[in-house]
Amino acid sequence: MEDLQIHIFALLGVLEMAIVLAVVTVFFVVRSRRLADTVRALQVKLKQARQEDGEATDFEQYLRDEVLRNQELIDRAAASEDDAEKKAAELLLLRKQFLEMEIEARALENNPVEFQDRLAAGMSELIEQLRPEPETVAEVPEAQTGDTETEAAIEAEEPERATIDTHDAEFNRLKDVINN
């Protein structure tokens, strides 16, 4: 027995580690059982909800319901006399057009070419409605104070401002994004 020397501190360290592992194991076992019970209860509730609801709605039906709900919101906002509500009605009208475009595009999912064409046409219509009209800015005459030479030099250096229409470039970019 004297040949077998047991270090008491090593033995106590191993014993302490075993106790800690046992406590952690018990904690996780109890926790997993509670979570399993919660999952089972939620699955039962989900089955009951499916039976009560009957048939699940698909995405197209959801879009149609959203169009109807959106129309009700548009009617309420348009009937209001508040300017903010009227602007909200305009935005809701754009949303309705987008939802209708989505429904039409979903009907063409089987034909990718028509799908892309319809999507591009619908998006260009929405962009046209969102785009503000280009405005030309008239030069404001300044008071004749100062040297005419310096004013002539400044005018020669600065070109006049012109309205640049980027509609075609934006439309082509939109087509590229949709086609890729």
33-47, 125-139, 147-161 — which one is most confidently predicted on average? 33-47
Greater confidence, 178 or 39?
Answer: 39
For 101-122, how does the pLDDT look when each residue is reduced to its tens digit (9 = 90+)?
Answer: 889 888 888 888 888 888 888 8
**Angle (nearest 5°) at CA 11 between 10 and 12:** 90
Least confident of 78-87, 118-127, 159-168: 159-168
Q: Model-level pTM greater than 0.75?
A: no
Report the candidate in 139, 138, 140, 136 with the shortest Cα–Cα distance to residue 164. 136
Mean pLDDT of 158-169: 72
- The answer on pLDDT for 17 being more than 80 is yes
Query: What is the chain's mean pLDDT, rounded?
Result: 82
Sign of the alpha-carbon torsion through 149, 150, 152, 153: positive
- The answer on pLDDT for 134 being more than 70 is no
DSSP per-residue string spanning 14-31: HHHHHHHHHHHHHHHHHH
For 67-108, how does the pLDDT look when each residue is reduced to its tens digit (9 = 90+)?
Answer: 999 999 988 888 888 888 888 888 888 899 999 988 988 888
Q: What is the pLDDT of residue 1?
A: 44
Find tokens 């405005």 and name the residue: 135
| Cα distance between residue 77 and residue 80, in whole Å | 5
HEC string of 115-177 equals HHHHHHHHHHHHHHHHCCCCCCCCCCCCCCCCCHHHHHHHHHHCCCCCCCCCHHHHHHHHHHH
Report the candidate in 78, 114, 74 with the shortest Cα–Cα distance to residue 95. 74
